[in-house]
Amino acid sequence: MAAADGPCNIAAALPQLAAQAPDRVAMHCPGSRDGRGLARYDVTLSYGDLDRRSDAIAAGLARNGIVRGSRVVVMVRPSPEFFLLMFALFKAGAVPVLVDPGIDKRALRQCLGEADPQAFIGIPLAVLARRLLRWAPRARTVVTVGRRWFWGGPTLAAIESAGAGAGPQLANTAPDDMAAILFTSGSTGVPKGVVYRHRHFVAQVALLRDAFGIQAGGVDLPTFPPFALFDPALGLVSVIPDMDPTRPAKADPRKLHHAIEKFGVDQLFGSPALMRVLAGHGQPLPTLRRVTSAGAPVPAGVVAKMRELLPGNASFWTPYGATECLPVAVIEGRELEATRLATEQGAGTCVGRPVAPNQVRIIAITDDALPDWSGVQELGPEAIGEITVAGPTATDEYFRRPEATALAKIRERLPDGSERIVHRMGDLGRFDAQGRLWFCGRKSHRVRTPEGNLYTEQVEPVFNTHPEVARTALVGVGEPGRQEAVLCVEMAPHLPRSDHERVLAELRHLANGFVHTARVRHFLVHDGFPVDIRHNAKIGREALATWAAKALKWRR
């Protein structure tokens, strides 16, 4: 959307939808019970409510110095207030800063320090933590969402009341204006602040609509809160689940089923960890027509089980992408199952075909910066290299991280003389002869042995076929180029420890069946892998590598 056609802003769809159908439901927030057993009531917001109340909040924020361009940390749980606040910030042209609150507190403080926000909006606990831990000390404005303590600044309710009746609020934001700073999950290091411009959000809405055939009027259960922000722009009804979004692996499947049945949910988005919860629960999901899972590869067994629970006409999509660029490619469950045998024999995980108009290319593996595309070595079909993507949702920088930006971005001059940014995914993969993209693992997780590289997604699925193994993780111990390959093994729940050595012996035998897995030298049992806070699915291999090095040293 060009600036001349009106503001380029994900919130611009909201007043249009509110004018067309003000009473149409935009969002359901199901009630639950608190620790004292007291019931919370369901909250429903219509498009008219969402538009009018976000206008009031935007106007109230402006009276408190939060205006176009203001960077604003938001630490609010998924709730009606969170979504009202986010749309108010977009309407104001302010820049929300989102960081996963469950990350290491030192990393969290570093992220907030880098963002250097002018304002901090949070629930009472977050406001207290800011005061005690000196988060964002230069923030001039503090707003409490909920009950206010004397140091917590005005409440969001007071902000909304102050702006009531102010009329429509929608800043004339341009495509290249900064829209948000979204910090990565930090699964491979300290999280980085990805700069989203308004054109990135608008392009994401269009790509998601086209990739999955989304039509207005559907009912969505987005268990990853930022995805719920797309729903109003897509004309969907959002149902906000009663769960802790930072712990999808611990979600109560009964509550999810209750929300799905009560509100007639026909679309579901969740991490692989959440899919595992629903698959393990084993109850049919007859109303669902589309399920989407992202954040990490979805185990083939989980895909197969979910498809059993879905109606025959339902689709199960696993989009591939990252905070920096999403979606990049998509694959439907039927095709994913068709590639399952190849995955279990070490081919990697098929992530489907690139989403138009993305241009995805594979380049030679290097850890060096590549400032200009003219110096890049592009690889052909079947060659494993780093995945790169250029397209309308590919972001162009990390906030105040020039070194990280230099390592992840390549400038490319096009035939018409213009330039664009090519994003390096930091993932390794290949294209097959059919034009499908296969994910082979993170570049930083490759194990560099004297005999050559080993890639996590070509090794682990081979061993994950063992029925008494929950999952495995490949790590390298030693200097790159001379590393020893170690397979960390998380056994199936309730497997007696007396059986561990037998299972390890069977895994060693399994390893001899393939050339690349035969190079795995060591097998270690780990009680429970560290995982990322966002999806509970990305394995913390850096921490595992440190643990494995100590375990091998102790053995020797």
Confirm whether 483 is domain-assigned.
yes
Confirm whether 277 is domain-assigned.
no
- What CATH number does residue 519 fall under? 3.30.300.30
CA distances in angstroms from 325 to 207, 393, 515, listed in the order given:
11, 5, 34
Q: Which amino acid is at 551?
A: A
Residue 2 has pLDDT above 90, yes or no: no
Confirm whether 452 is domain-assigned.
yes
What is the DSSP secondary-structure string of 365-390?
Answer: --SS---BGGG--B--TT--EEEEEE
413-426 confidence digits (pLDDT tens): 999 999 999 999 99
Tell me which residue range forms the domain holding 542: 446-555
Nearest to 62 by CA among 177, 162, 181, 196: 162
Summary mean pLDDT of the chain = 92
Which among 286-295, 404-413, 538-547 has the top mean pLDDT? 404-413
Residue 33 has pLDDT above 90, yes or no: no
> Which of 61-65, 97-101, 155-159, 309-313 is predicted with the least confidence, judged by mean pLDDT?
97-101
Q: What's the pTM value of the predicted model, to 2 decimals? A: 0.93
How far apart, in whole angstroms, are the C-alpha atoms of residue 227 and residue 220? Answer: 10
Confirm whether 505 is domain-assigned.
yes
Does residue 417 come out as left (phi exceeding 0), alpha (psi in the -120 to 50 range) or beta?
Answer: left
Residue 117 has pLDDT above 60, yes or no: yes
Residue 165 has pLDDT above 50, yes or no: yes
Count of helix runs (H) and strand runs (E) in the chain: 18, 26
Contact 315, 422 (CB under 8 A): no
Which strand (E) or helix (H) includes residue 233? helix 230-234
The 10 Å Cβ neighbour count of residue 206 is 14
Residue 356 has pLDDT above 60, yes or no: yes
The pLDDT assigned to 107 comes to 87
What ranges in 266-377 are assigned the alpha helix state H? Answer: 272-281, 300-309, 333-338, 340-344
Residue 71 has pLDDT above 80, yes or no: yes
Q: In the structure, what pLDDT confidence band is assigned to residue 40 with cuts at 50, 70 and 90?
A: low
Tally of structural domains, the chain: 1
Nearest to 245 by CA among 115, 98, 116, 132: 98
Q: What percent of the chain has pLDDT over 70?
A: 95
445-496 confidence digits (pLDDT tens): 999 999 999 999 999 999 999 999 999 999 999 999 999 999 999 999 999 9
Confirm whether 342 is domain-assigned.
no
Residue 170 has pLDDT above 60, yes or no: yes
The pLDDT assigned to 188 comes to 64
Name the burial class of residue 398, with classes exposed (0-12), middle (13-18) and buried (19+) by CB atoms within 10 angstroms of its CB: buried
Nearest to 79 by CA among 291, 245, 288: 245
Residue 187 has pLDDT above 70, yes or no: no
Q: Which amino acid is at 525?
A: V
Confirm whether 232 is domain-assigned.
no
Nearest to 456 by CA among 490, 491, 429, 493: 429
Cα 251 vs. chain centroid, distance in angstroms? Answer: 17
Distance between first and last Cα of the chain: 63
Range 45-57 average pLDDT: 97
Confirm whether 547 is domain-assigned.
yes
Confirm whether 472 is domain-assigned.
yes
